[in-house]
Structure 1
Amino acid sequence: MSSSPQSPCSPLPRSSHRRQRSMKIFRNLWAAVMGKSNHADPNPATVLIVGAGSTGLALAQGLRKAGIPCVVVEKYDCLDARSRDWNMGLHWGVSSLRSLVPDHMWDRIQSVQVDPHAPTAEHDSLNFYNAQSGDMMASIPVQYFYRLRRRKLRGLLAEGLDIRYGKELRSIEYSEDGKFATAWFEDGTSITSHLVVGTDGAHSTLRQTLIGPSSGNTQRLPYCATFVQARYSADRARYLRKLHPLYLAGINPAGYFSFFGMHDIQDPNDPTTWTFFFYISWHSPLEEQERTANWTNAQRLQQVKELSKCFTDPWKSAFEWLPDDHQVWYMGLSDFDPGAKDHHWDNHGGRVTMAGDAAHSMTYQRGQGLNHSITDAAKLAEAVKQFASGKATQADAISSYEEEMVARAGGEVRLSTVNTRMLHNWEKVQQSPVMRSGMTPQQQQQQQQQPQPQQAIHAQ
């Protein structure tokens, strides 16, 4: 098994922590004394990427591969500052990621999978079960379905990049000559570049800077989910994994959706080292979400344990076997549609734009988010190469990128939200986008003439 890159947040001796704090204080004081920094014009194709998530890092690798200078800034002090990790599905976006990273990096993609010991199958399927009876409802075929651990993927994509931590975006200024954008940070420093790209996630500060704090927020939806990661005894782990070695989905007639899969297989021969990843989502009016906003972890765990009682295995036993103090993660669902009214932004002559969740956060029951985000990175890298080489003006290149991205990913935001609603309504489950078209991207569906659902899904 390949070792993961050393994290900037790896434990340090106390003396090292004190030195880090002292240096941070010194840097902040120096910035305050010096005022504006980075007055010198950057190189003609310099790009500033705000946010060191998977999208921003993939974009930075694509630019680095093309020889285009770029800097990535991240508001946290290191990549692993947040305790929570999760995994994501990459399928139709595989070719985009391969185009962005060097060959030697793609050769290590197996090391960031949930099971780094099992090569990704050329042909696989995501099976959907009636989560109450255990009957299979559908089997969705998929080619090269990668399940990637977010933390490990970011660690891999961060290699060789200029990443500056502790840089929380405050505002952006634009030069009068139409050439530059200067990003100002909460620590008083600034960086000037030709292009600023917001890849700072679903709750993007850059998006709110461009659109405004009201229109720039995500839209809260009347659905929520509780996520769990857990290990079990060897016998229990083997039992839970017997339906599928990596992933499966469940739809409960009571109005619940669920996912069950692996998160980390440290030793394939020792089931006690296997970490499982699973959740239940359900309809929850915003009033209910507000009323329970201050619930404790114990209350959230008790709530989802009660919900799981009407499930079959593996969900029922997986929840039942959790100790009462086990950590869970609860969150409401939300989306942001870049094509919606009042969501248009001024890119200031191509000097600022967005990609990934910052541009189009979507619900996850159809597994599209990472694929669109990585596709954004690939298409934006091409746009930058266009204006860096003089084949197009910067304004035209970025506007063309945005036009394609808004149509493609905005349509998927809307489709994914419809899919979420239908999957939580038993009467409409079979008409949901995932049941009719699997994980095929919306634009590909539209290009097919009179698509037949049975060509995408083998109903059981």
Structure 2
Amino acid sequence: MEGATPPSGTAGDANLPILIIGSGSTGLALAQGLRKAGIACTVFEKNDSHHRERDWNMGLHWGAPVLKSLIPEEWWRRIQSVQVDPHVPTKEQDTLNWLRGDTGETMAAFTFGPFYRLRRSKLRDLLSQGLNIEYDKHLESISYAQDHQAVTAHFADGTAATGSMLVGADGARSSTRQVLLGPDMGAINRIPYAATFVQQKFTKEQALYLRKFHPLFLACAHPSNNFAFFGMHDAADPDDPSSWTFFFYISWKSSLEEQEATKDWTDAQRLAQQKELAKAFCDPWKSAYEWTPDDASVWYLGLTDWDPGRPGHRWDNYHGLVTMVGDAVHPMTYQRGQGLNHSVTDAGKLRDALIKIEEGGDRQRLVSGFEDEMIQRGGLEVRDGTANTMLLHDWEKVKQSPLFTKGMKKSET
């Protein structure tokens, strides 16, 4: 059983750092919040470099005040530079138009704000500054001091690190979660939906045409029971539309059997499938796929979730020595743009709990209380997110989806 190995850390070790597993947006935001509070921490990343993973973009809206509280004030003034188009000022209120996928008619319009569309790589660059980050560190096991005052992370390269607490922030396929709950209970849950993502540049004329539908992003549901997204990913040079990169996909209901049967498909096969689906769509999707070269790089993703509120999913936090945040504990589907908002909220609430622990508060009570709230809030959003995905891919029930009934607002517990 994990945790049975005697640790190297004991209560005699003074000023042990918080160990954060994972250098995604959540782990880095937490680390910055601790740094701001004067609490030592070290971040461990399984990849061997900072930008090895794919890049995508994320919506930040109701979680923005929490992220602002975690970072230096002058950094928040740079948040505009982290957006997919830093040259389009963030509006206090913006409108997301949700289209009917075959005709282009507006089905609904959601007004909310301020809304930030952030590039993941740029956000990570901002949040990585000034931190102690160790790369090529894949978590294999965790052990705990007998006096409940220290925790040790053991990595695949044979090294170990001891801290006052360990926080798993290592994403949807979290190694921390599997260490704490075992490979079965801790495994990601696959659901019968899939998408293939395209990031593509176009000619000046094509780019200007595609962008006229919305400067940042659009979504649509199609009577064929498919859902689609189209948006800006990178507009570094506002005067050169041919340099802009767009990000788009069509998602569809895909059985686990189909996912398994097509797991070895090439990029060309994935793109050909998307192009065939796009023929029935309105613009900008139809033209964007027609104009995308057949040999373009794409990436495919079978959708997943993991509900922390399910029976058997509550982990032992070993007297408050170990916990999880973000996608490690509530990975959710992405069609309603809630993931980053919940993840930075986790980071803010755990930061608050750790400050109280530093001030002498009871660690087990504070960590368990933090987890109770996160599991309730995040678990509800996981369930809402999966229900939303199912309903968005069922034309007869689209208007019952949380995206339609709640817009981008947080699910209320």
Instruction: Calculate the TM-score normalised by the size of structure 1.
Output: 0.87
1:403 lines up with 2:376 in the alignment = no
Give the secondary structure class of the aligned counterpart of 1:243.
Answer: coil
What RMSD in Å do the two structures reach over aligned CA positions? 1.3
Q: 2:101 aligns with which of 122, 131, 135?
A: 131
> Does 1:205 pair with 2:175?
yes
Which residue among 91, 113, 136 is the counterpart of 1:121? 91
Distance in 2 (CA, whole Å) between partners of 1:43 and 1:256 is: 56
CA distance in 2, matches of 1:50, 1:276: 31
Alpha-carbon distance between aligned partners in 2 of 1:68 and 1:220, rounded to the nearest angstrom: 37
2:118 maps to amino acid: L
Q: Does 2:350 align with 1:393?
A: no
Q: Is 1:415 matched with 2:377?
A: no
Q: 2:310 corresponds to which letter in structure 1?
A: A
Structure 1 position 140 matched with structure 2 position 110: yes
Whether 1:300 and 2:270 are equivalent positions in the alignment is yes
Give 2:242's aligned amino acid.
T
Q: Which digits, 9 at most, give the CA deviation of each residue in 1:362-410, with x for residues without a partner?
A: 00011100000000000000010011111x2110110010000000000
Inter-partner Cα distance in structure 1 for 2:13 and 2:131: 17
What is the alpha-carbon distance in structure 1 between the residues aligned to residue 8 and residue 189 of structure 2?
36
Q: Quick one: which amino acid aligns to residue 82 of structure 2?
A: V
1:426 aligned partner, one-letter code: W
Counterparts in 2 of 1:16-415, with a 5 A limit?
42-44=13-15, 46-82=17-53, 84-390=54-360, 392-415=361-384
The residue type equivalent to 1:417 in the other structure is T
Displacement after TM superposition at 1:37 (Å)? 7.6
Q: Residue 376 of structure 1 aligns to a residue in which SS?
A: helix
**Counterparts of 1:271 and 1:297 in 2: how far apart (Å)?**
26
- Give the partner amino acid of 1:160: G
- Check 1:385–1:129 CA distance in 2 against 1; reply closer, same or farther (3 A cut): same
Residue 429 (str. 1) matches residue 403 (str. 2) = no
Return the TM-score normalized by structure 2: 0.97
CA distance in 2, matches of 1:441, 1:44: 37
1:229/1:277 contact within 8 Å kept: yes
Q: Partner of 2:309: helix, strand, or coil? A: coil
8 Å CA contact retained: 2:11, 2:150: no
What amino acid does structure 2 have at the position aligned with 1:173? S
Which residue identity does 1:432 align to in structure 2? S
Structure 1 distance, partners of 2:11, 2:368, is 27
In structure 2, distance between residues paired with 1:42 and 1:209: 24
Q: Which consecutive residues of structure 1, in runs of 5 or more, have no partner in the other structure?
A: 1-35, 447-460
Does the C-alpha gap of structure 1 residues 99 and 43 become closer, same or farther in structure 2, counting only changes over 3 Å? farther
Task: Quote how far apart the aligned CAs of 1:46 are.
Answer: 2.3
| Structure 1 CA distance for aligned equivalents of residues 12 and 263 of structure 2 | 47
CA distance in 1, matches of 2:411, 2:275: 35
Name the aligned partner's letter for residue 185 of structure 1.
F
> For the residues of structure 1 that align with 2:253 and 2:243, how far apart are their CA atoms?
34
SS at match of 1:139: strand
Paired residue secondary structure (1:408)? helix
C-alpha contact 2:9 2:145 (8 A) present in aligned 1: no
Q: Which runs of 5+ in 2 are unaligned?
A: 1-6
SS of the equivalent of 1:442 reads: coil
Number of residues of Structure 1 aligned to a counterpart in Structure 2? 407
Distance 1:311 1:285 in 2: 22
**Cα distance in 2, alignment partners of residues 375 and 41 from structure 1:** 33
Q: Percent identity?
A: 57
Tell me, in whole angstroms, the C-alpha distance in 2 between the residues paired with 1:158 and 1:237.
32
